[in-house]
Amino acid sequence: MPEEADLRDISRSEIIELNLGPHHPSTHGVFRAVVELDGEMVVDVVPHLGYLHRGYEKTCENKHYHQVIPLAERCDYMGASSNSLCYCLTLEKMLDVEVPERAQVIRVIMAELSRIFSHLFWLGTHGHDVGAMTPLFYMLREREEIMNLFELTAGGRLMPNYMRIGGLIRDLEEGFVERLQSFTEHFDRRVDEYETLLTKNAIYMDRTKGIGVLPLEEAIALGASGPMIRGSGLAWDIRKSEPYSGYEQYQFDVPVETGCDVYSRYLVRVAEMRQSNRILKQAIDRLPEGPIRAASPGVVFPPQEEIYTKMESLIHHFMLVVEGLKPLVGEYYQTIESARGEMGCYLVSDGGSKPYRLKWRAPAFVNLETLARMSRGYFFADLIAILSSIDIVLAEVDR
Amino acid sequence: MNQESIGEKLLAKFGPDVIRTAVTFRDQVAVTVAKERILDVCKFLKEDPELAFNFLSFVAGVDRYPETPRFEVVYQLYSLKRNHRFRIKALVEESEPGSAVIDSVASIWPTANWHERETAEMFGMTFRNHPDPRKLLLPEDWTCHPLRKDFPLYGTDEDTPDLRSKAGSQGI
């Protein structure tokens, strides 16, 4: 006669499936995962994507090259200017257009502000996910300041839509540099403040140290980039390894941590904000006078005043709007270091006025692939901390 | 290594039967390889100490409809050790529906898993020996492939019969 099984053993071996999301504050958008749990321990995580899939790449294939810029910004809305920068750089390489010095420096300012903007919101919501309510309110204060700066440049607060192929849409508003300067002057002290809330906080360290370990080899195999791979001990930053927009002329460090855990990623992002601020200060110092758009008739829009006064400029403007620009037949892959890692744009041109194929290498999409690897064997509550340490933007994941 | 010498190294190793064409545009080279040998070429690219392409940026598809072969599968590689990039392609033909097949490279670069799932559902290709051949972004019941060039951007139910509203499933 079979022995009666011990009730505790039965409950221990039972694996339950728990649905997480798609609507849940900790998923930062509409992300759904089916979590297999053994008691409170995570056995496996199966992500289900696509709740925010808008057919971005298909839409781009049916737009003129200039019309893609605002679409691109809607991919990673936390660092909108990085997206349009990546897209514009790709086309400038394809068209062989040289961007003027002043525009390059302003682009760096916008890209670094986007990085701080994105990291700030990440830090706030990440703190919130692990139970620290306070940081979010401080982060939103500085984030508001950056949004005001964006608003000054082109009107948009979240998505400025400021980059153009060959340069920028318009020059900086009067007073922008002064406001940016006052921001950079007090920002370092603000980062110190954030660090007093979390860096040596015993509860925060308990929740994040040794959690979500991603060894470097697996980070590389899974294609992780940005703070994910720098938190695993590899000093790889595209701004250093393949500089664009004149990044080789700025002095900044690449923060690296070797803990491979959630805490390391936190330290990397905080240190990155300080480095971005360093770049901003240098950019203000070296901001030269000059044009903000390349002079390439037929490819780059002519300045507004010329359209009203010169016949050729009017014709070029008209043709660009009606027919669009037409790059040579070819393909190009351009990468930049966005707040989340390697953001890439692979563009195939058939010589027409619309992209034949546009593949967006979204860093959050690839980084999310590491979630299952990082979560196995930890508590369910840790899964929330691990998920938020990836810093996903679902609009970019699903495209 | 620069782009040309990577292409030459590949050609010396595999010969013109496998390494078919190399197209240079601006400062980037794209090499087309025979799809039957894609695994061998990828393994070599990753394991050769001079090339050391240990990082796969993405796998993507391109639809050249109505040309034949119809599809390109694009692999964008990066070497974290050597700091160089390279792009290889394989041409895949679809003579009848469902016959566009190529080997999965997920065994070489695990990150290819999601990229290949996305490419498979968007273009209707099959990646042989893929560890997890489910759909990724699209609903399970869709049988259409939106990134194909003959898939309309917008239209009526007649233009997109696969998307027609069905009882019990969410329609468009």
**Most B CBs within 10 Å, among A53, A60, A97, A333, to test the B interface:** A333
| φ/ψ (deg, to 5) at A152 | -65, -35
Give domain status of residue A54, yes or no.
no
Do B87 and B62 meet the contact criterion of CB atoms below 8 Å apart?
no
Q: Is B44 on the interface with A (CB under 8 A)?
A: no
Give domain status of residue A33, yes or no.
no
Q: Which chain B residues are closer than 8 Å to A399 by Cβ?
A: 137
Give domain status of residue B131, yes or no.
yes
CATH code (residue A77): 1.10.645.10
Residues A131-155, mean pLDDT to the nearest whole number: 88
In total, how many domains does chain A have?
1
Give domain status of residue B171, yes or no.
no
Under an 8 A CB cutoff, do A223 and B25 touch? no
Give domain status of residue A3, yes or no.
no
In total, how many domains does chain B have?
1
Host domain of residue A279? 65-367+382-398
Q: Is B53 on the interface with A (CB under 8 A)?
A: no
Pick from A165, A177, A260, A257: nearest CA to A211: A260
Residues A281-294, mean pLDDT to the nearest whole number: 90
Preceding peptide of B69 cis, ω within 30° = yes
Q: Are β-strands B71-79 and B55-63 bridged in parallel, bridged antiparallel, or unpaired?
A: antiparallel
Give domain status of residue A28, yes or no.
no
Q: Is B110 on the interface with A (CB under 8 A)?
A: yes
C-beta atoms surrounding B155 within 10 Å = 10
Percent of chain A at pLDDT > 90 equals 41
Residues B77-90, mean pLDDT to the nearest whole number: 90
Residues A180-195, mean pLDDT to the nearest whole number: 90
Q: Closest CB to B153: pick one of A58, A331, A348.
A: A58
Under an 8 A CB cutoff, do B56 and A223 touch? yes
Do A328 and B23 meet the contact criterion of CB atoms below 8 Å apart?
no
Distance CA B125, CA B117 (A): 9
pLDDT in tens, B115-166: 999 999 999 899 989 998 888 888 887 878 888 888 877 766 666 666 655 4
Give domain status of residue A317, yes or no.
yes
Distance CA B143, CA B139 (A): 9
Give domain status of residue B19, yes or no.
yes
DSSP conformation letters of A363-394: HHHHHHTTHHHHHTTSBHHHHHHHHHHH---H
DSSP conformation letters of A134-173: HHHHHHHHHHHHHHHHHHHHHS-SS----EETTEESSPPP
pLDDT of residue B21: 82
The interface pTM score, or ipTM, of the predicted complex is: 0.85
Host domain of residue B92? 3-158
Is the pLDDT at B167 greater than 60? The verdict is no
Give domain status of residue A23, yes or no.
no
Kindly indicate the confidence band of residue B172, based on its pLDDT and cuts at 50, 70 and 90. Answer: very low
| φ/ψ (deg, to 5) at A45 | -125, 125
CATH code (residue B47): 3.30.460.80
Give domain status of residue B164, yes or no.
no
Distance CA A342, CA B57 (A): 8
pTM of the model as a whole:
0.88
Give domain status of residue B84, yes or no.
yes
For A236, nearest residue in chain B (alpha carbons): B80
Give domain status of residue B168, yes or no.
no
Under an 8 A CB cutoff, do A361 and B62 touch? no
> Which has the higher per-residue pLDDT, A69 or B172?
A69
Write down the mean pLDDT value for chain A: 88
